[in-house]
Amino acid sequence: MKNILEYILFLSFSFLSRILGLWLSRRFSFIIAVLFYYLIPIRKKVVIENLTAAFPEYSNKQIKKIAFGTYKSFAITLIETLYLPYIKTEDMKNAVKCNNIDLLIKKKQEKKAVILLTAHFGNWEYFAASISLQLNIPLLLITKPQRNTYVTEFMNRNRTRWMNDTISPGISIRQAYKALNDRQFILIAADQRGHLEGLRLNFLGRPSSVYTGPASLAIKTKADVVLSIICRQPDYSYTINFVNLPMNDLPEAEDEKVKEVCKKYINYLEDIIRKHPEQWLWMHKRWKY
């Protein structure tokens, strides 16, 4: 019953966004941020702790400013996600400005298998939909189910509204192997916490477990890896620069290869986060262990 009630509320806000329109709905992001930062603080302690640890050189005032910005950024992403059923195809296609999409077009023409490594940054949902439309090819999205199965179904309907497909981590990962062996493009947000006993690397000044799945996939399938994190601009538009990750200079041992690919991704992610800290999803316990 709880899931159903949550889903009804979710759909109600989605319909409200349609009535108001995307431009006006985005203006409510400040109110949503105030609600969940000040009045009904959700994971605020986690956000403050994460930011304080990641940026020890910042004052308490600076940390709180970034923290509130994080809630506002998440509110914008939420509003844009709620509006996904109603956005026009052409608007979605043009939502993201790719400064060097020729890199991906060339890989497509050469029939390369490609892993697009992204993060929970800006609006990662927009990234997946817009890029597939611009390239005119389907992306295979590896996504983690939400706690509420109804919300998961809503998200996956909109993720696959145009041409993309989704799979969940775990046993379905064999589909990712097949897709790469068939020279397709897959998209993975690899910034989540890894396994307790897995590889640990220094991330934003703290040792942290990292998600090694994408690196292992790339090495075993000989897929190209492209770093690709979307950034929101002040006018609510989005930009992205694709960065090809060299795979021809890796160590001999496979575990060292995985480690090196993860290092390159983590270093790239750190650089993006330091430039736009409010756009990363600080609400999860990234350094839980």
| Same-domain pairing of 139 and 264 | yes
**Tens digit of each residue's pLDDT, the chain (289 residues):** 788 888 888 889 899 899 999 999 999 999 999 999 999 999 999 999 999 999 999 999 999 999 999 999 999 999 999 999 999 999 999 999 999 999 999 999 999 999 999 999 999 999 999 999 999 999 999 988 888 898 899 999 999 999 999 987 765 678 888 999 999 999 999 998 888 888 999 999 999 999 999 999 999 999 999 999 999 999 999 999 999 998 888 898 999 999 999 999 999 999 999 999 999 999 988 888 7
Rounded to whole angstroms, how far apart are CA atoms 56 and 59?
Answer: 8
Hey, how many other C-beta atoms are within 10 angstroms of the C-beta on 260?
A: 18
| Same-domain pairing of 145 and 60 | no
Query: pTM here?
Result: 0.93
Backbone angles phi and psi of 129, in degrees to 5: -70, -45
Rounded to whole angstroms, how far apart are CA atoms 46 and 97?
Answer: 32
Close Cβ partners of 124 (under 8 Å, ≥ 6 residues apart): 118, 189, 230
| Domain final position from 86, 114, 146 | 86
| Same-domain pairing of 29 and 78 | yes
Burial annotation 14-25 (CB, 10 A radius, 16+ → b, else e): beebeeeebeeb
| Same-domain pairing of 64 and 96 | no
| Domain final position from 65, 86, 107 | 86
Asked whether residue 287 is assigned to any structural domain, the reply reads: no
pLDDT of 170 reads 64
Which segments of the chain does DSSP mark as H helices, in order?
2-20, 22-26, 29-34, 44-54, 60-82, 89-93, 102-109, 124-135, 149-159, 173-181, 213-221, 254-275
Total tally of structural domains belonging to the chain: 2
Boundaries of domain holding 33: 1-86
